[in-house]
Every structure is written in structure tokens, then in C-alpha cells.
Amino acid sequence: MPDTVRHRIDHASLPLMTRLSGLPRPVPFVVLLTLLVAGVLISGPLGFALMGLAALFVAWVLYLSWPTLNRTERLMRLAVLLLAVAMAIVQLFPRA
């Protein structure tokens, strides 16, 4: 396999993905949900940071799983990512 950016990211992600796969299945979802809910409830820079962490996690998992997803799965995951990014921006710049 050629040494591409994807290969390097996949290789660097392997230890963390191995640890995540060893956890009970609901744990990563509960952590992500907690970040999202806390990000919604806490406004300002802290809410932005929590939502940003959630968006980064979703983006990372989306990037790693992209080659195996079909078109519908890609669109659904992109929608979740865009929603998380939009919510993070709203937390950083709330309406008065």
C-alpha cells in the first residue's frame, strides 16, 4: 500500500480505534451525546468547544469510514456533521 495521507491517518488512528472498539458499544455514543447535550445547554466559548469536539469526532469517524459507505450513508453522516458544525457556530455567536 502506498504511503498516502489516508494510509497515514488510518495508521495513526488504529490505536484509538482499537481502544474504542474494546469499549461496550453504547459508551462512544453516550460520550458523543453528552458532548452534544452539554454543548447545547452551555452557551458561549465552552459550548462551542464541546460542540466542536463532537463535530471533530464525527468528522474523524466519517473520514475513516468513508470508503466503506454507500451514497445514502455518506449523505446521512455528512448531514450530522454539518448540523454539529452549525450548532457549534451558533453556540459561539448566539443571538442576543
Structure confidence by residue, pLDDT tens digits, 14-39: 999 999 999 999 999 999 999 999 99
Predicted local distance difference test score (pLDDT) of residue 96 = 63
Q: Is the pLDDT of residue 1 over 60?
A: no
Q: How far is CA 22 from the centre of its chain?
A: 19
Contact 85, 93 (CB under 8 A): no
CA separation for the pair 11, 17 (Å, rounded)? 10
Cell of 17: 480505534
Task: Indicate the domain borders of the chain.
Answer: 28-92
Instruction: Give the global pTM.
Output: 0.84
Contact 30, 15 (CB under 8 A): no
Average pLDDT over residues 70-95: 91
What residue type is 88 in one-letter code? A
